[in-house]
A and B are shown apart, each in its own frame.
Chain A
């Protein structure tokens, strides 16, 4: 399980972002998690609590938004949502061309604070 490593990196990033803004009172963390990020949502939520211990983030909520897949098909010249991560070709023309536009996200989108 690498979610604990991810959660630790995440807490470090939030502290960095918060300090860069003069110290924030973080109530909740909004996370964007792509379906191809390689990170399990539940395991991450669990690990986040552990990673927060001993930091000012203890007790903060984690709000995870799952980002679905979006590819660009060179043949259709448009974006498509593939059927699933097990079926990644173009859902329209079934060509193998594959540029992933969305689905790999592993990022803190926003911090919810009490001002």
Chain B
């Protein structure tokens, strides 16, 4: 006896749990008035170096903290700790991305009301982090001048899912024969209208702009949250 197979529609989002938790985190960040920025890139593009500079500058007038994802080591956290006191490493083991649950767990001991900015450095990887919402308000994707201007075309999904592209190691652009115009073209091709920053953590190029941009974002986000409460 054979029975005909039947199709049952379910329409179940696979990452529903992560998405729900990320949404809760985002709400919590809004309520606490902390502006959360995540960073993704290939390994070695300069996420930690950029963060070191940002933390050092921002911590003069703001309460800043950082979470750093890494497969195995705690080196990045040690580097960042010199710039800001509240830094925590999330060691992911074999997992090649952060997810909302790891972020929630890492944040448990901290009082978010005591913070203005929280930065989350994702595991160095241009593929895996793209599917996971972390509840951040802003996602930066970094591209260094030494890794070639065609990166956006090779990894369109991660560029498309980010809010801002940051071209790092501008001090090395000439030596690496980096085609800046082509890089901008490629970014616009995979994410039309994307805002792009050019920075160097070595010379400090672009850091003033990055800092004032973050200030504006923090104020705007707090104003929006206040409106929502009224």
Asked whether A98 is an interface residue with its Cβ less than 8 Å from the other chain, the reply is yes
Which residues of B from 11 to 63 have beta carbons under 8 Å from A?
A: 11-18
Tell me the nearest residue of chain A to B131, going by C-beta.
Answer: A38
Asked whether A66 is an interface residue with its Cβ less than 8 Å from the other chain, the reply is no
Tell me the nearest residue of chain B to A37, going by C-beta.
Answer: B131
Residues of A within 8 A of B6 (CB): 112-115
Q: Which of A9, A14, A36, A115 contacts B3 (CB 8 A)?
A: A115
Residues of B within 8 A of A16 (CB): 12
User: Within the complex, what minimum Cβ distance (angstroms) separates B36 from chain A?
Assistant: 21
Residues of A within 8 A of B229 (CB): none
Q: Tell me whether A10 and B14 are in contact (CB under 8 A).
A: yes
CA distance A110 to B95 in the complex (A): 28
Q: Which of B4, B128, B188 contacts A96 (CB 8 A)?
A: B188
Q: Which of A13, A86, A88 contacts B12 (CB 8 A)?
A: A13
Which residues of A from 4 to 25 have beta carbons under 8 Å from B?
A: 5-6, 9-10, 13-14, 16-17, 21, 24
Q: Tell me whether B10 and A17 are in contact (CB under 8 A).
A: yes
Interface of B is mostly: mixed
CA distance A2 to B17 in the complex (A): 16
Q: Tell me whether A36 and B160 are in contact (CB under 8 A).
A: yes
Q: Tell me whether A110 and B15 are in contact (CB under 8 A).
A: no
Contacting chain A: which of B79-87, B107-115, B172-180, B190-198?
Answer: B190-198
Which residues of A from 62 to 115 have beta carbons under 8 Å from B?
A: 85-89, 95-98, 106-115
Residues of A within 8 A of B158 (CB): 38
A-B contact count (CB 8 A): 110
Residues of B within 8 A of A6 (CB): 14-15, 131
Residues of A within 8 A of B160 (CB): 36, 85, 88
Interface of A is mostly: mixed
Q: Tell me whether A24 and B12 are in contact (CB under 8 A).
A: no
Q: Tell me whether A13 and B14 are in contact (CB under 8 A).
A: yes
User: Within the complex, what minimum Cβ distance (angstroms) separates B13 from chain A?
Assistant: 5
Tell me the nearest residue of chain A to B191, going by C-beta.
Answer: A88
Asked whether A41 is an interface residue with its Cβ less than 8 Å from the other chain, the reply is no
Pick the most buried of A5, A27, A36, A115: most chain B CB atoms within 10 A of its CB: A5
Residues of B within 8 A of A2 (CB): 95-97, 127-128, 131
Q: Tell me whether A88 and B14 are in contact (CB under 8 A).
A: no
Q: Tell me whether B5 and A28 are in contact (CB under 8 A).
A: yes
Q: Tell me whether B9 and A109 are in contact (CB under 8 A).
A: yes
26 A-B pairs whose Cβ atoms sit less than 8 Å apart in the complex: A2-B95, A5-B97, A6-B131, A10-B14, A13-B13, A17-B10, A17-B12, A28-B5, A36-B160, A36-B161, A38-B131, A38-B158, A38-B161, A85-B160, A86-B189, A86-B190, A88-B189, A89-B188, A106-B131, A108-B12, A108-B14, A109-B9, A111-B10, A112-B5, A112-B6, A112-B8
| Beyond A38-B130, A88-B190, 9 extra complex contacts between A and B, CB < 8 Å | A2-B131, A88-B156, A96-B188, A96-B192, A108-B14, A111-B7, A111-B8, A113-B7, A114-B5
B interface residue numbers (CB < 8 A to A)? 3-18, 95-97, 99, 127-128, 130-131, 153, 156-158, 160-161, 188-193
